[in-house]
Amino acid sequence: MLILFDLDGTLLDHEAAERSAATLLHGRINTPTPLDEFLAQWDAALEHHFARFLAGEVSYQGQRRERVRELIDASLSDGDADRLFAHYLTAYEAGWSLFSDVLPCLDAIGNYRLGVISNGQGDHQRRKLAQTGIVDRFECVLISEDCGCAKPDSTIFRSACSLLGESPESSIYIGDRYDLDAQAARTAGLRGVWLDRKGRATAEHTPPIIDSLNRVRGLLADTE
């Protein structure tokens, strides 16, 4: 059996790192926008412009510049936008850390074949795995930039299975987004599992749903 994981929000606590880095940026630019409002705007800008990158509408560096321009100054040159984003990026990378349930989970399922599927830029996403010390845990790390398609496209899920010679039907994908991860994986023929860390599930959400990666071993036992 192949077990595949999403990265940001599933293995790596992206939200905490992003919030810390955006807080630093907020203080540096001396904006009158209250911190909570700025953080919400930064998160929304990330979602919007990163989606544009995934759709091929803007380069990876371009989406970074557009986030800075949207929140700080639309007239910023590329160089000025890059310099401001560099302050954010340094703090963001320094904040990369795993959720507390990641290592216990990976230890518990170490006898399975493991992989990662993530939307993003290849080198950047792989550095997250390397810096947090878990890159060697996975036989396959497939990033959307590398394969030319992004979640929720079924191709990226099936490509990961194909790389390791596993069928989608014998593979599981675990991620923190119900639509982008669980549902998309199910459409591709895998068993999609929603990692609902924040307890957002309602009766409209279809299982399997777990609230922690500590539940993965038990979930696998139910399928064996």
Give residue 224's pLDDT: 59
Quick check: 41 and 22 in contact, CB under 8 A? no
> Which residue do the tokens 């091929």 mark?
56
What is the pTM for the complete model shown? Answer: 0.93
Strand 113-118 relative to strand 140-143, pairing: parallel
d(CA 193, CA 219): 10
**Is pLDDT at 19 greater than 80 in this prediction?**
yes
In terms of C-beta density within 10 A (0-12 exposed, 13-18 middle, 19 or more buried), how is residue 103 classed? middle
Task: Give the model's confidence band at 140: pLDDT under 50 very low, under 70 low, under 90 confident, else very high.
Answer: very high
State the average pLDDT for the chain.
Answer: 96
The region that residue 167 occupies, defined by phi over 0 for left and psi between -120 and 50 for alpha, beta otherwise, is beta
Q: What is the pLDDT of residues 98-137, one digit of tens each?
A: 999 999 999 999 999 999 999 999 999 999 999 999 999 9
Q: What is the pLDDT of residues 21-56, one digit of tens each?
A: 999 999 999 889 999 999 999 999 999 999 999 999
d(CA 165, CA 27): 49
- Of 61, 59, 77, give the one whose Cα is nearest residue 69: 77
